[in-house]
Structure 1
Amino acid sequence: MAEQEEDFSSLPLQDRVTHKNWKVRKEGWEDAARAFAATADESDPVFRPFILGSDLWKGAVTDSNVAAQQEGLSALCAFLKYGGSQACSRSRGATIQPIVEKGLSSAKAGAKQSSLEALLLYIEIEGKSDALLEDLLQGLSNKQPKVVAATLGALTAIYHAYGVKIVEPKPSLKALPKVFGHADKNVRAEASSLAVELYRWLREAMKTLFWNDLKPVQQQDLEKLFEGVKSEPSPKQKRLLRAQEQAAAAAPAADEEDPEIEEAEEETPAEAFDLAEPVDVLKKIPGDFHENLASTKWKERKEALDALYEVANTDRIQDGHYDEIIAGLAKSMKDANIAVVTTAANCVEVLAKGLRRSFAKYRSRIMGPMMERLKEKKQSVADALSQALDAVFASTSLSESLEDILEFLKHKNPQVKSETLKFLIRCLKLTKDAPSKPETKSIAEAAIKLLTESVEALRAGGAEILGTLMKIMGERAMAPYLDGLDDIRKTKIKEYCNAAQVKAKDKPKPVAPPPKAAPPAQKRAPTTKKAAPGLKAPVKRASTPQSEKLTASSPQSRPPVGKALPSKLGGLQKSGLAAPSAGLKKKLPGAGPAPTLASPKRNITSPSPYEEAPAPKLGRGLAGRPLGKPAAPVEPAAPSASAGMTAAEREELESLRADKDRLIRVNDDLRTEKSKLMSQIHELQNQNAQLIEDHTRDVLSIKAKETQLVRARSDAEAAENLVQRQGREMERLKRELSRNVREASPLNADDQIYQDRGLNGSQHHPGIERYDSGRPESREVGYQRARSYMGSPSEEKENGSLDVGAGKKPSMGRSLSGDTLAAGRGDDNGGAPAVGQGVDSYKRAAEVTSQLKARIEQMKAKQGLTRPGR
């Protein structure tokens, strides 16, 4: 009981926090935290024992009693917060490892929170995280899964608070594949959370360091998690460093001037180039690269370029001497084989992306050959060259590349001009530095020339260039270049301007504030100066509207009228007064009396007639009123402009002014008319181009028709020749048939000719054979020949012809009578032959027979064949 009532408050703090009783330790850490918070600055003596005795903090973090541990971690946070950089540097080595092993995985939520806060304070105060991050990553190798999971959670919170610009992300990314393969699901879950947090900052660039080391299933799971944060805006730093807070407090006005710029700089995502390690490509290039690149076989040249592409296709390339390689690639751009050209362009692209700014020294050697090769019409080659040009431009700036681009915009090849135009548009959209005024003028003039091209794509490209340039420079800066264009083109240019997305913005230089104006003249008393002996006292006058108008009408501001006018107005400009002529003193309208000449020793104290009189002091009653007459109200300055002139000079001045106004109006009219004429010229040029296209299309159509006509004529001639050949062949066959018939005909006069009813036109078939009744074989041959020429076998059967195949042979005295023909014809109605038809058939058969006989006799007479007994 007495032990419980013992008072330990008299003990020093360092003794109380190391006491064997956990309650004493707990109360000691509580008192220490209050003492730290009550200090005035970092040099307070209360910090000294804890700075020198860093082991005290190690005991606080690793305290076996969770209540005392929680208070010890709270005291550590207060010590770091109020103790400054010295407290952090002296205690970090003794606390980080215990915090990772004991504090982050503590059973008390307060202890966990204090441990994480201590880690954040170390980074906030020191401004760097390399040593702390190294100690944290050692916790990922701990055997206890809860320690590994707590360490991953702490890393996630650190990146969420400070971002990847303060805390280096490479070590954590390299450690991710190992923790993704951990057996504990909590560790894998915390690893996924860390990967998602890093993806918020790095996006796709983070995959270059660890993505290939993951399993496909793990990649798919992470892709699903990444989909949820892709639509989120770029994260911002949630917690400022101590140095950032001091800088913000020291210059609050500078931060408020342009917050958009700072936000844009903070939101710039990291790239794979920044995270990747540089690779020495020169050591990996094959030894026979240059030999194969100069080979006469295109396959060997392409294989050499493929080998270069494989070794150079990396995120970051170590700088070196690539002069020979660039020279070989520039030579390959002129290769006759498009596969070699495409591969060379791909090599240029990966080299430019891997070297970045180090590639700028090779730009002048490679950009020209690539742009010259843009004449290739194959789309795959054009795409490869365009990507390579974009990569080369990313390594340089618009100012460095603009001269070559504008030169190729004048190329005679339309394909080169079109691709160069697209390249310039991409450059304007990608550049981060606005072009200077001379560069803006050069680009605008080149684009305006493109507006008069006959090809629609070039005209649209010129308008897009002007629109993109207007987006960068502003409408006011581009107004002088668009003055002579018609409304249609201006509208199109503004449409391109509204749709353009650029990264650069012209920032006008801040205008110096005007000097402070002097106090008004009426508030100052008129000063007098003593003139030197022999000189006229200077007369000071205040600036009045009348004097300003008079000065404006001086000879220096308008053309000279005559000899007398400049001499008289010269005095007005110098002194502000009209020189009085001899013997005549004129009074100017609206002014007081003319001054008299003063002697050299006389000081002029009265104000000039052009100088405003000082305001009278007003008093009460009549005594405050001025005795003289009030001055006449000041008229407009027009009358005073011609003061001191003669009537002739005034008339001449008025006529010159009228001529000037007339010329201005005429000039405006002419400018308007010129704009209309230029618009008409452009329209006529467009119409002419359209007519040329129509004419070309018609000429091609006519040529196609003519080609078809020639082919048709050729086909007709070929068909005609074929018909003639067929006719000649038919004649030859007829002659051959006639000769065969004559050779096979017997010389018997009593032969009978048998034929069917198809022999009506037998006078046209002289090749019918005759047969001898005494020779069966002759009769058989004659009948077969007659049937083959005069009708088909089926028709012969239907018409009652002789059936030789059945073995029936006609008798010697039998002929084709009319009854036989009539019986063989048949009747459609009943099949019964008609009597009249048989008679007619008989008569026709008799006629045919007699004609055949007569024809045979004629043939025999011609051939000299005679038979005895006839």
Structure 2
Amino acid sequence: MSTEDEKLLKEAKKLPWDERLAHKNWKVRNDANIDLAAVCDSITDPKDPRLRDFGPLFRKTVADSNAPVQEKALDALIAFLRAADADAGRYAKEICDAVVAKCLTGRPKTVEKSQAVFLLWVELEAVDVFLEAMDKAIKNKVAKAVVPAIDVMFQALSEFGAKVVPPKKLLKMLPELFDHQDQNVRASSKGLTLELCRWIGKDPVKSILFEKMRDTMKKELESELANVTGTARPTRKIRSEQDKEPEQEVITENVGTGASEDSVVEAPQEIDEYELVDPVDILSPLDKSGFWDGVKATKWSERRDAVAELTKLASTKRIAPGDFTEICRTLKKLATDVNLAVSVEAVQAIGNLARGLRNHFSGSSRILLPTLLEKLKEKSQL
């Protein structure tokens, strides 16, 4: 380093952090990021007021146009996130968006450090912000930016588990990636799908995703699903859980000859497929289908067809809550229709509504229960 550079860096150290990090000379910016990382590494109290001052700086530093400086900025960000606590989440969105926009198409080391940053945000319980950023990343037209995003979601799920990283959000992102023109994107998507199977089971994943896949990918996944065995276990804890570790160890020591820690952790995680899918509004399309005119028709076939439309709409896995009172009053009448085909279709529609609405159907069930119990008696007499 020349004497002139040494003098420049020495003078720059007197400047405030924001001015050093935005300096026109890249060597000054580089040196500032190195110093910032060192300061963050020295901080042992996550409530240290300096962390609050540093948080807003990273939105711009990680977007540095100079690749080596950008890497040093990511190093400083990693040091910051290791020193901080969940309070740093206030800066998560802007920083994650900047990393997605500027770092995922960078050099391999830059991408690797970006992924480390994302995993630290998950550790700091900013998982929703992380997944929102990944949703933006997978829409990038450059496949080179999409693959790291999928891979870091895989890492997050693999390391932290399905209780921390919501499978529902991952399942929503995957379908658009199955038909991606880049084979590396498709391969990474397949890997994430298989990892989901390890955490929530094969059946829920197949039920939700397989209908949205090409036959070729279905066959590939089917053949590999046979190799998905065992119960997945998290290998990394969120920061708040890490703070509880000493207490957990004391509890474990006091358990004595009870169930071993492994046996408790190995218990399979129960996943309700209902919670993995978004609710679907069926009231609006039902109104447009001519249902209300059809159920009043004099022809039995028109009444049956109108109810069949409701049965079809209500066959979705999860129905959005709404006012089903009038529908249930109508179904109560149709369940006792003189025509058996209409009656059977009405009972089928009621069953689908109950499955799709669950607790939201409890009020309507009171209207229908007496009639259904009478129908059950009729069946018993037969």
Q: Say whether the fold is shared (TM-score over 0.5).
A: yes
* Match runs of 1:351-370 below 5 Å: 351-370=353-372
For 1:222, give the aligned amino acid: L
The match for 1:113 is 112
| Aligned residues of 1:206 and 1:272 also touching (Cα < 8 A) | no
**Aligned-pair distance for 1:115?**
1.5
**Aligned-pair distance for 1:309?**
0.9
**Aligned-pair distance for 1:310?**
1.8
Instruction: Quote the Cα distance in structure 2 between the aligned partners of 1:123 and 1:316.
Output: 28
CA radius of gyration, larger in: 1
| Aligned residues of 2:179 and 2:214 also touching (Cα < 8 A) | no
The match for 1:278 is 280
Instruction: Quote the Cα distance in structure 2 between the aligned partners of 1:336 and 1:227.
Output: 51
**Aligned-pair distance for 1:81?**
1.6
* Match runs of 1:337-736 below 5 Å: 338-374=340-376
Instruction: Quote the Cα distance in structure 1 between the aligned partners of 2:76 and 2:84.
Output: 11
Measured at CA, do residues 300 and 85 of structure 1 come closer, stay the same or move farther in structure 2, by a change above 3 Å?
A: closer
Structure 2 regions of 5+ residues with no counterpart? none
| Aligned residues of 1:298 and 1:340 also touching (Cα < 8 A) | yes
For 2:175, give the aligned amino acid: P
Measured at CA, do residues 26 and 213 of structure 1 come closer, stay the same or move farther in structure 2, by a change above 3 Å?
A: same
**Aligned-pair distance for 1:191?**
2.0
The match for 1:72 is 73
The match for 1:240 is 237
Instruction: Quote the Cα distance in structure 2 between the aligned partners of 1:87 and 1:77.
Output: 12
Structure 1 regions of 5+ residues with no counterpart? 378-412, 417-870
| Aligned residues of 2:160 and 2:234 also touching (Cα < 8 A) | yes
The match for 2:189 is 191
**Aligned residue among 29, 35, 50 for 2:39:** 35
For 1:271, give the aligned amino acid: E
SS of 1:360's partner is: helix
Measured at CA, do residues 362 and 183 of structure 1 come closer, stay the same or move farther in structure 2, by a change above 3 Å?
A: closer
* Match runs of 1:308-327 below 5 Å: 308-327=310-329
Instruction: Quote the Cα distance in structure 2 between the aligned partners of 1:281 and 1:196.
Output: 35
Percent identity of equivalent pairs: 27
* Match runs of 1:59-138 below 5 Å: 59=63, 62-65=65-68, 68-90=69-91, 92-93=93-94, 95-109=95-109, 111-125=110-124, 127-138=125-136
- Structure whose residues are more often helix by fraction: 2
Measured at CA, do residues 157 and 304 of structure 1 come closer, stay the same or move farther in structure 2, by a change above 3 Å?
A: same
SS of 1:316's partner is: coil
Instruction: Quote the Cα distance in structure 1 between the aligned partners of 2:244 and 2:368.
Output: 45
| Aligned residues of 1:41 and 1:82 also touching (Cα < 8 A) | yes
**Aligned-pair distance for 1:267?**
1.3
The match for 2:292 is 287
Post-superposition CA distance 1:554-590 (Å, at most 9, x none): xxxxxxxxxxxxxxxxxxxxxxxxxxxxxxxxxxxxx
Measured at CA, do residues 10 and 272 of structure 1 come closer, stay the same or move farther in structure 2, by a change above 3 Å?
A: same
Measured at CA, do residues 136 and 213 of structure 1 come closer, stay the same or move farther in structure 2, by a change above 3 Å?
A: same
What is the root-mean-square deviation of aligned Cα atoms in Å? 4.1
Post-superposition CA distance 1:500-553 (Å, at most 9, x none): xxxxxxxxxxxxxxxxxxxxxxxxxxxxxxxxxxxxxxxxxxxxxxxxxxxxxx
Instruction: Quote the Cα distance in structure 2 between the aligned partners of 1:177 and 1:260.
Output: 35
The match for 1:219 is 218
Instruction: Quote the Cα distance in structure 2 between the aligned partners of 1:274 and 1:82.
Output: 34
Measured at CA, do residues 278 and 46 of structure 1 come closer, stay the same or move farther in structure 2, by a change above 3 Å?
A: same
For 1:76, give the aligned amino acid: L
Post-superposition CA distance 1:189-228 (Å, at most 9, x none): 1222223233444444456766544433333333334443
1:305 correspondence with 2:304: no
**Aligned-pair distance for 1:325?**
3.7
SS of 1:183's partner is: coil
SS of 1:141's partner is: coil
Q: Which has the higher contact order (CA 8 A, sep 6+)?
A: 2
Post-superposition CA distance 1:796-840 (Å, at most 9, x none): xxxxxxxxxxxxxxxxxxxxxxxxxxxxxxxxxxxxxxxxxxxxx
**Aligned-pair distance for 1:288?**
2.0
**Aligned-pair distance for 1:186?**
1.1
Instruction: Quote the Cα distance in structure 2 between the aligned partners of 1:207 and 1:170.
Output: 13
Post-superposition CA distance 1:67-108 (Å, at most 9, x none): x44343222111112133454423651x32342244344434
For 2:126, give the aligned amino acid: K
The match for 1:788 is none
**Aligned-pair distance for 1:316?**
2.1
Which range is displaced more, 342-351 or 8-17?
8-17
